[in-house]
Amino acid sequence: MGFLKTTLLFISFFALTQFGFGQQQGGYATMRVFDCNKGVSMGSGYLAARVFIVYEDSTTEDIPILPYSEKNELSNLKKINQIINGLKAKGYFLISQYTTGEQGNLVSDYTFLKQR
């Protein structure tokens, strides 16, 4: 009976520590892409075309992209793909994507979950 109790205690301890470490390592990152041909009004100012990323620890990245145009469309798509692949390499998995606006003035939100 002692062996069974010890085994169950070990399994319980192992499961609890893994759950606790998983919670510390996991989290969400949000990426917002302003793909626009002119400044997008945000309060009292305007934003140029850019990508903002907020990580689970509240650190941020601000990555400029080219203004929306037929000429720049492929370059921006390649840049966004590079950023998504970089997030994947950091252990993030894309779980949702939403885009609003109209051609020449799009705002896209991406939500990533960090894999444990």
pLDDT of residue 45: 55
At 19, give phi and psi (nearest 5°).
-65, -45
User: Residue 3 above 90 pLDDT?
Assistant: no
79-101: average pLDDT: 95
Closest by Cα among 113, 108, 40 to 80: 108
Q: How far apart are CA 38 and CA 82, in angstroms?
A: 23
Cα three-residue angle 104-41-78, rounded to 5 degrees? 40
Q: How far apart are CA 83 and CA 100, in angstroms?
A: 20
First-last CA distance in the chain? 35
Mean pLDDT of the chain: 80
Query: Strand (E) positions, the chain?
Result: 27-36, 40-42, 45-47, 50-54, 60-64, 92-102, 105-114
Closest by Cα among 41, 26, 90, 37 to 61: 90
